[in-house]
């Protein structure tokens, strides 16, 4: 059973480069060892064993002849892919005759909860130990596969049977601190369109697209990619080894804009910014600190690739994180010579990580002992008649279809939001004479420049929600249960049953200009 948290609500006024590719001499891998590849968000990957006939049968994420699985198979490594389904759809496994296949409980749901998927991966690793005699694994996670791997390592002590030692983890485009695209989708989707005027008309066009997109991708999967959720989740994870991180940077901004935008956003791979992929601290567009996850990293480099094959056609490049030969060589290097001197978890050298995993397992009903999540207020705007808009630096436009943005003689097309062909995002510059959006087919998200914010601070099972900043009126704080938001007492206590891995909390207020300002955060269990 998941515990209930007690929420204390009050209002507080306050002023407020691509890495060089190494030349490798590959030693023979140890007996009983294997490399396990874990695909990510919205993927379908079959279970494939190390049998020779499974080479090239690893599914769309991993089957490229220039990718890391092919390179490691050729070097003599035992390569497995973890089974990953998409909305219940799975792919037939590839095994040699008489080889066993994993149970259904070992299949990851690529649209599901991060910790449930960590448990499924842990079940899969135990299966490899019991059925294939694998005693040591090295994990390679693409996208959310890196988060699921970190969750499995944290939950290691809860495994139902003997489990291989995890010697290393390498991540490709994993949103360790969140995805700016998920942040934006969450912001607009979670009630920000309860507004009036022309903004409401544009919202009526945008929301059905977002509803369908989030429904297809999975509500948990999208919301658990937000920076606010991962700020809390990261503090609850344990790992005893350094993590090799690799990022994609094919998508960048024009030089006349890009210098002003933090690396959490750009350059990026179409979904995940460079700073998040490399697990580096960065800043939001309003200069709010986004803190790196608390584990040691080895910078595997940033490469001119997109997140996945889905984005290749949209963004005009065949190069992805999982088919780029230079990245495959870096992955091989991290496997041949794992960073650090201890295992991530399990075995003698991973004793420290195992002890931390046991400590985490002993307190699964409670969140981390303490932590803080802060979310800035923002508001929605729409272009004026004629499509003209006086943009502030770092305003973000959500564009319908292929709608361009014109800034003087320059044009900004934006790029797809979470791989959608129907919604694009663009970071707006300050333009003399204003930005022009033809047909007014855009919503502009403007972050509050005054530093006003919602803060969630927890100690044990108690959470305190505070609103900081001057000039806000009629403030109310709400939490979401199912599909409905409900208001919490302005001062007092309310019990939040944690029946899910996260609890959305938002603050709504009116500014001095009468405009509606909203701050939204996801509270990790």
Q: Does 246 map to a domain?
A: no
Cβ(523)–Cβ(373) below 8 Å: yes
Q: Does 268 map to a domain?
A: no
Q: Does 220 map to a domain?
A: no
Q: Which residues lie below 8 Å from residue 204, measured CB to CB, with a gap of 6+?
A: 193
Residues 461, 442 within the same domain: no
Domain count, the chain: 3
CATH number of the domain within which 504 lies:
2.60.40
Residue ending a domain, choose from 416, 446, 476: 446
Residues 75, 150 within the same domain: yes
Would you state the pLDDT for residue 196? 58
Residues 2, 104 within the same domain: no
- Among 45, 422, 43, smallest CA distance to 213 is for 422
Would you state the pLDDT for residue 9? 46
- What pTM does this model have? 0.81
Would you state the pLDDT for residue 2? 41
Would you state the pLDDT for residue 364? 37
Q: Does 331 map to a domain?
A: yes
Residues 402, 516 within the same domain: no
Q: Does 275 map to a domain?
A: no
Q: Does 200 map to a domain?
A: no
Would you state the pLDDT for residue 67? 98
Q: Which residues lie below 8 Å from residue 416, measured CB to CB, with a gap of 6+?
A: 270, 311, 314, 315, 423, 424
Q: 48: burial class by Cβ within 10 Å (0-12, 13-18, 19+)?
A: buried
Residues 440, 348 within the same domain: no
Residues 336, 415 within the same domain: no
Would you state the pLDDT for residue 381? 84
Would you state the pLDDT for residue 14? 33
Helix, strand, coil in percent for the chain, rounding step 5: 25, 30, 45
- How far is Cα 303 from Cα 319, in angstroms, rounded to an integer? 10
Would you state the pLDDT for residue 104? 96
Would you state the pLDDT for residue 404? 79
Residues 90, 167 within the same domain: yes
Residue ending a domain, choose from 446, 471, 486: 446
Residues 499, 434 within the same domain: no
Collapsing DSSP states into helix, strand and coil, what is residue 271? coil
Q: What is the DSSP string of 371-383?
A: EEEEEE-EEEE--
CATH number of the domain within which 139 lies:
3.40.50
* DSSP bridge partners of 246: 172, 301
Residues 38, 169 within the same domain: yes
Residue ending a domain, choose from 427, 446, 465: 446
Q: Does 197 map to a domain?
A: no
Would you state the pLDDT for residue 493? 63
Cα dihedral sign for 103, 104, 109, 112? negative
Q: Does 308 map to a domain?
A: no
Residues 387, 486 within the same domain: no
| Residue 385 token pair | 């008649």
Per-residue pLDDT 10s for the chain (525 aa) are 344 444 444 443 333 334 444 445 556 688 899 999 999 989 999 999 999 999 999 999 999 999 999 999 999 999 999 999 998 899 999 999 999 999 999 999 999 999 999 999 999 999 999 999 999 999 999 999 999 999 999 999 999 889 999 999 999 999 999 988 888 777 777 656 655 566 667 777 777 777 777 767 777 778 888 888 898 899 999 999 999 999 999 988 766 555 556 777 889 998 899 999 999 999 876 667 889 999 999 999 999 999 999 889 888 899 999 999 999 999 999 999 999 889 999 865 555 555 554 554 443 334 445 678 888 888 888 888 888 888 887 788 888 888 778 887 788 878 888 777 788 888 887 787 788 888 888 888 887 767 788 888 877 667 788 888 888 888 888 887 777 788 887 665 666 655 556 778 888 888 888 888 888 887 776
Cα dihedral sign for 177, 179, 180, 182? negative
Q: How many CA atoms lie within 13 A of 224 on its CB side?
A: 27
Would you state the pLDDT for residue 496? 62
Range of the domain at 440: 381-446
Residues 116, 39 within the same domain: yes
Residues 436, 456 within the same domain: no
- Among 346, 345, 328, smallest CA distance to 26 is for 328
């Amino acid at each position: 059973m998941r515990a209930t948290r007690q929420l204390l609500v009050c209002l507080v006024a306050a002023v407020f480069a691509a890495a060089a590719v190494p030349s490798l001499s590959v030693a023979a891998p140890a007996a009983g060892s294997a490399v396990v590849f874990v695909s990510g968000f919205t993927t379908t990957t079959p279970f494939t064993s190390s049998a020779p006939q499974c080479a090239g049968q690893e599914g769309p994420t991993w089957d490229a002849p220039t990718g890391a699985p092919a390179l490691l198979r050729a070097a003599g490594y035992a390569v497995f892919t973890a089974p990953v389904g998409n909305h219940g759809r799975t792919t037939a496994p590839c095994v040699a005759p008489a080889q066993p296949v994993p149970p259904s409980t070992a299949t990851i749901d690529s649209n599901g909860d991060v910790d449930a998927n960590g448990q499924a991966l842990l079940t899969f690793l135990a299966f490899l130990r019991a059925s294939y005699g694998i005693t040591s694994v090295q994990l390679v996670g693409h996208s959310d596969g890196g988060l699921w791997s970190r969750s499995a390592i944290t939950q290691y002590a809860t495994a139902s049977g003997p489990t291989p030692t995890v010697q290393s983890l390498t991540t490709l485009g994993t949103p360790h601190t969140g995805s700016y695209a998920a942040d934006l989708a969450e912001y607009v989707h979670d009630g920000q369109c309860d507004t009036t005027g022309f903004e409401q008309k544009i919202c009526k066009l945008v929301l059905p697209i977002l509803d369908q997109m989030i429904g297809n991708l999975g509500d948990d999967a999208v919301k658990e990619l937000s920076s606010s959720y991962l700020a809390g989740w990261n503090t609850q994870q344990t790992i005893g080894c350094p993590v090799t991180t690799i990022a994609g940077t094919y998508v960048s901004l024009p030089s006349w804009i890009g210098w002003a935008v933090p690396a959490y956003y750009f350059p990026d791979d179409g979904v995940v910014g460079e700073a998040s992929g490399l697990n580096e601290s960065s800043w939001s567009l309003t200069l709010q600190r986004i803190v790196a996850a608390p584990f040691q990293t080895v910078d595997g480099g940033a490469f001119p690739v997109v997140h996945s094959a889905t984005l290749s056609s949209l963004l005009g490049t065949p190069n992805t994180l999982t088919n780029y030969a230079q990245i495959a060589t870096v992955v091989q290097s991290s496997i041949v010579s794992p960073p650090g001197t201890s295992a991530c978890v399990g075995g003698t050298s991973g004793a420290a990580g195992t002890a931390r995993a046991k400590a985490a397992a002993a307190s699964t009903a409670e969140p981390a002992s303490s932590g803080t999540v802060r979310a800035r207020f923002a508001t929605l705007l729409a272009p004026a008649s004629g499509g003209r808009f006086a943009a502030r630096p770092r305003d973000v436009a959500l564009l319908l279809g292929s709608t361009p943005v014109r800034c003087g003689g320059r044009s900004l097309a934006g790029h797809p939001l979470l791989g959608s062909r129907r919604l694009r995002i663009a970071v707006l510059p300050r333009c003399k004479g204003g930005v022009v959006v033809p047909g007014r087919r855009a919503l502009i998200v403007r972050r509050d420049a005054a530093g006003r914010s919602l803060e969630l601070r927890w100690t044990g099972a108690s959470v305190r929600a505070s609103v900081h900043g001057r000039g806000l009126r009629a403030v109310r704080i709400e939490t979401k249960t199912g599909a409905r938001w409900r208001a919490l007492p302005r001062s007092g206590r309310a019990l939040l049953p944690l029946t899910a891995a996260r609890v959305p909390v938002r603050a709504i207020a009116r500014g001095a200009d009468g405009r509606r300002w909203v701050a939204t955060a996801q509270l990790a269990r």
